[in-house]
Amino acid sequence: MEVKEWTYEELPEYEDRPEGVKVIETTGDELGVSYLHDVEYAKINGTPLHLQILTPNSRNHSHFPLEKKQLFTLPCYVFVQGSAWMPQYVYGNVPALCRLVLRGYVCAIVEYRHSGIASFPAQIKDARNAIRFLRKNADKYGIDPEKIVIAGDSSGGHTAMWAGMLHDDDTADNLFPGISGEPCGIVNYYGSTSVMAPDSNPIQIFHCLPESPEGRVMGGKNLLKNPELARQLSVECNISTDTVIPPVLMFHGTKDRVVNCACSALVYEQLKKTGHPADFYLIKGADHGGPEFWTDRVLDIVDTFCKNCFAGK
């Protein structure tokens, strides 16, 4: 065989079959996952913020090099990694999200400014700017800009909820003017959405004090002495019939020791009371996260929810 720069199409296929060799047939559409790590989407006051971007790949639809326009356009699942609003370990859910990528999604994990450097609602503004960045670069990453859902777990679930409620496209907080930060839907995994009850965080003995996670994200304030700040942070206190919010899907474990399951129930009840579409699934026996939230059944529910959010787009 001649040695040269062969294209895939030109290279003759190896046809010899030594005795005992077995052949596995393929179609070229078998899916794998490509991982683009630490893609900078913004730099705010000198702090770089990154995305972990996961895209499907196959032999017939190679997705590299990414500086070129992609031949596919897929829905995008933007995931905000929880961290009690402190520095995130943004790589933790990469393996789990790969399962959604294999169902035909681009997934992007958002890094936000943590509570040590920025107070609420900086985290929400970051998440919305991440959506704008992905829309601006939709061709590069193979994203359908009209089909973006935001999700998150724990404090990331709180951020995802607010990202669908804080409509700041026409403000200076929009780092990509003219590009929408609105998601089509919200998936909230055991979100730390309310701090109104003393048992909102069952194993936390510093509830709403300045050193608590919720106190830190509100600027190191004592929320017990500033109940208006607790209401400002709590999602259910900011949902009314006039609130503009896309459909919501919620999951929460019935044995969650970190965020009381009742917090999600409060948000769900308020959404339903005010006429907003919402679905809520209890994961029986689950604690604060874990493989129970990434089963085929849960992924089926998430996939169906996203497709319903994208209907007509």
Q: Please report whether residue 13 resides in a domain.
A: no
The answer to whether residue 54 sits within a structural domain is yes
Average pLDDT over residues 143-168: 98
Cα-to-chain-centroid distance, residue 51: 10
Rounded Cα distance, 29 and 27, in Å: 5
In a domain, 159, yes or no: yes
Give tens-digit pLDDT for 48-94: 999 999 999 888 876 554 555 666 789 999 999 999 999 999 999 99
Domain of residue 225: give its range: 36-310
pLDDT tops 70 at residue 251: yes
Q: Is residue 23 part of a domain?
A: no
Kindly state the helix (H) or strand (E) to which residue 55 belongs, with its residue range: strand 47-57
Q: Is residue 273 part of a domain?
A: yes
Which runs of consecutive H residues, i.e. helices, occur in 155-260?
Answer: 155-163, 213-217, 227-233
- The predicted pLDDT at position 69 comes to 61
pTM of the model: 0.94
Count how many domains the chain has: 1
Strand 74-80: give its sheet, edge to edge.
32-44, 47-57, 106-110, 74-80, 143-153, 185-189, 248-253, 278-283
Whether the pLDDT of residue 249 is over 90: the answer is yes
pLDDT at residue number 48 = 98
The one-letter amino acid code at 82 reads G
**Terminal Cα-to-Cα distance of the chain (whole angstroms):** 50
Dump pLDDT digits (tens) for 19-47. 999 999 999 889 899 999 999 999 999 99
CATH number at residue 133: 3.40.50.1820
Domain presence at residue 7 = no
| Mean of the per-residue pLDDT values of the chain | 95
